[in-house]
Structure 1
Amino acid sequence: MASLAYVSGKIETSNGQCMVGSQIVDCPNRSLSGGQTKDGGKLDLLPSNFIADTRNDSIFFGLLIAIVVIFTILGLAKTKIFGKTLGEYLKPIWYYVVICLLIVAWQYLFGINEDNRLFLRISQWIWELAIALSVIQLVRKNGFNWGNIFFLGILYSLIIHGSKVTIRYLFYDKTLLYILDRFLYGSLLVMVIVCAIGWATILIINPKNKQI
């Protein structure tokens, strides 16, 4: 007959397991800033039981290929999204995009070391600044409106954090739960930066411009 025991004390994580003192206990399925994966990876948004904490190449590569194909078709067909093609979104700021990708590469080649936490933080500030400057440029020189800014945030999210989660999945053996959480959390930060800077710039330049 199974028995239940109440264990009192602070839950701590060790080697991916939750422990109270020396006793192993079930990890709570927390959501915002509290969940974790089976190997102890920190989750910032999703609860531990949101999806299976496993790797699945079919799902990952299926989604990756689908995204690449969709945006390739949009680019080749010169489909307009909120009145502008993908080229009109990216060509004027291509150097800012390159800066962001170089920062991502540096972070995973060198900045991942524990001794580089300060430089890792600085590198994040650099790509955040690059995003902000590119948004201001597009609003001032290319007439971007509210809808354009929103879609630009989606593009930056896919470019920056899509690259990051791909690296994590391919080279760091992370699970789908972990990379989904990191993508959503990182994309939320990007969307806040892009939309806040973009919409503020629109209002400053032309307070009457409320076109979407």
Structure 2
Amino acid sequence: APFRYLDLKVGPGVFIPRPETELVVQEGIEWTTRHGMYRAKVVDLCAGSGAIGLAFATEVLGSEVWAVEKSERTAQWTRRNLDETTKQYPAIAGNYHLEIADATQMPTLNQLDGTIDIVLTNPPYVPLFDIPVQPEVRDYDPDLALYGGSSDGTLIPERIISRASKLLKPGGLLVMEHDVTQGERLAAFARTCGFVDAVVHNDYTGRPRYLTAEKQVIG
């Protein structure tokens, strides 16, 4: 599966990365450029194939990435893609860390709370009763990577926002993909979690697809 400058291995038990998710990585890279950063401390929540974190690590060399994946079966693909990517980019070998854990829970990576520059995430967000019509999604992508845990699909994304608010340092950036129906609700929720400049952005087809927000700087 092509993703930005990478060719990733995918198969049973892992979500196949989509072109629109490349925009999540692009936002993070452009943010580091605007802030004059040559490296960043990044967390990829709900890592799946590793697409987001590996892309960032290979395009902003010197950055350190912590990837969190709940499913051990899925993590087998994350590890496989890490192994393949380090053959081409050996410098990232010591800068990419994979943790098998629930990305929505506060104990996950709690040793990093308040130190992270960027959280990038494509969490499960499909509404429970909105079964995808595309056969490649409906029949092959794992349910754990698709459904957002509630009728409108926002339960898991909101928990991800809450977790990101703890991980990020003041002024840090959250970039999160979401369903086209969820943008304004999630932006409003982000503001209640201490984020400012919460903005919904369109994907390549002009649909509201991902959120950016910065953690408020106090004082």
User: TM-score if structure 1 supplies the norm length?
Assistant: 0.29
Flag the structure with higher helix content: 1
Flag the structure with higher strand content: 2
